Structure 1
Amino acid sequence: MKIIRHKSELRDLTISWHRAGDTIGVVLTMGALHDGHLSLVKNAQSRADRVIVTIFVNPRQFNNPEDLAKYPKTEDSDAHILESLDIDVLYVPEPGEIYPACFSTTISVSGVSDGLCGSDRPGHFDGVATVVTKLLLQTDADYTFFGEKDFQQLQVVRRVVADLDLKTEIVACPTVREDDGLAMSSRNLRLGTEAREVSPVIGRVLESAANVIGRGGNVAQALETACQALLVAGFDEVDYFELRSDPDLQLLMSADRPGRLFVAAWLNGVRLIDNTPVKAASHAPIEAGRIPEPV
C-alpha cells in the first residue's frame, strides 16, 4: 500500500493504471475507520482492479467548529488497518491539495439537500458536494462506494455526478450495524459508556415506526410516538423523525409510495442519524401510531 499526499503523484499513478486497462474503485472517508468503512473497501475490491481509500477531514462540511475539533483523527491506526486489507493507495491529501490559496468555488445541490440534515446543518451539503467532486476528479474514480446510512448524502452525490457528467459510477452499500443494531459511525467513539448502552434504541424505534407505517398506521401519530420513545429512553433532543420518498426525498404524510424513514437525535452531545426503507402501506388492521416498547 502506498501512502500519497499530493495529487500530482496520485495522478501519475492513476494515468498509468488506466493506460494498463485497470479500473479504479474509491472509498472516500474522514478516517476513524470502522467495519462499515471496511465493508465499502471490500465491495470496492470485488468490483475494481485498483482501490484507493481517501482520508480527509473536510472543514467545509462542519457547520459547528466544535464538532470539527472533536472529530477523531486516527491516521496511523487507519493506515495499519488498510494495509492489512492490501489496498493499492491510501490518499491523505494535505489541505492545500483540496483547498489551495484563493479557492472560491462551491458546488451546491438543491432538492435532495433540502430538509433533514440540510436544514439542521447549514452549508453541510455544499461542503460535501464540493469535496466529493474534488476527490473524484483527483482519484479519477471509475466507481465510488457509499453506505446507505448517510442516505441523504448518497442522493446529493448521485445528483452531483449526474448533473456534472462525472464518469464515476456510484455504488450504494447497505448500512453496517453493531451486534446490538446501532448503525456504525465514527461519531460512536464519542459516546460514553452509559450513552452507548442507550444508543441502540434509536434503531429499534426506527424499525418499529417503519413497521407501523408500512402496515397502514397513521404516519403523524407514529412519528410523534417514536419521538417520545426516544426522549423517554434518554435521548436529549430529536432533530427530525420524518418519512421521505425514495429516491427524491420529498416529505410524505402518508405511505402511498416507497419511502424511507429518517431520524436524527442527540445523545450525550453526539448527533446520531439512521434511516430504514418503508414499503407502501398495506393497510393491514393496526392500532394507529402504536409503536412497541424498545427492548
Structure 2
Amino acid sequence: MIDKLEFFLALAKEQHFGRAAEECGVTQPTLSAGIKQLEDQLGVMLVLRGSRFQGLTPEGSRVLEWARRIVGDSRTMREEMRAARHGLAGHVRIAAIPTALAMTPRLTTPFHEKHPAVTFSIISRTSIEVLTLLDNFEIDIGITYLDNEPLGRVASVPLYSERYQLITAAGTPYSERKSVTWAEVSTLPLCLLTPDMQNRRIINRHLEEAGVAAHTTLESNSMIVLFSHIRTGKWASIMPLNLTETFGFAEPIRAIPIVEPDASHLVGMVAAHREPHTPMVSALLHEARQLAASLVALR
C-alpha cells in the first residue's frame, strides 16, 4: 500500500495526473490504476475525476493526513536502518526565508564536517511556502519565523532574534544618526522584500503601529537586488541586524538601529512534527540547538 499512498501524495501536491506520474517515475496509467486500487482497498472515493483532476473528496482529504503520517513513518524507518548500517549519508533539503539565508553556513558547515557524506540544497522561500514544503515532504527542514504567524504542528528550535536597522548610503538623510524611528524611516524611498514575505508583513505592521506607511518604490524577493539598489544611494531599506552583520558593510553604507519600538522577532529551525524523526533530521535539530547555544554565548 505504501507505493499507492506515495502516488496519492504526489497527486494531492501536483493536482495533475501527468505531473504526479512524472514525479513518481511511472506512467500516468500506472499512477491512475494505483490510486484506483487504493480507493478499492479503502472502500471510498478519494479523487474527484473528470477530464482532469478536480480535487479531493472529503474522504480523500482525511486519507491525505493519514498518508502523510504513514509515508513519513515508512521513510523514517528506511533512513534509520540505512544510517545504522552506513552512518549519516544522503541529501538534505533546506528552505529558508530570505533574511535567514546568510546564516545557513553556520549550520551546514559544522554539520558537513561531522557528516562528510551528506550534501545540501538550500532554497529561498516565503514562510508559508516553507511550511507547505514540509507538509509535502519536499524539504527536510525549514528556517523561518517562530513567533509572528501560526506555524501549525511542527518541531522547532529557536536560533536568534531579528532586530531591524535602516540600511542606507553615506550622505543620505539620517545616515549619520545613531538611531532612527520607524516614523522617520517611512519618509525615505525604500526598497523592500515583496508583500508575500513575512519580513515585509512585519515591517508594514511596525510602520502602521507608528502611524505611518512605507514609501516603497522598489520590491524584490532577492536580498542581492535590495543590496544593489542601496549602494546606488537612491534607495534605503530595512533589514535585520543579523543579516547586516553577516554580510558586513564597508563605506559608504550605514546600518542604523530603528527604535520606537526596538522590535525583534524569533527565527528558528522547523521540522515536520513526527516522532521519531529520521536520523538526518534528528541530527540537524541537534546541530541547531548547538548553534543556538553558541549564539547565546556570543551575546
TM over 0.5: no
Give the TM bin, normalised by the shorter chain.
under 0.3
Q: Relative contact order (alpha carbons < 8 A, sep ≥ 6): 1 or 2 greater?
A: 2
Name whichever structure is richer in helix by fraction. Answer: 2
TM-score, normalisation: structure 2: 0.27
Query: Rg: which structure is higher?
Result: 2
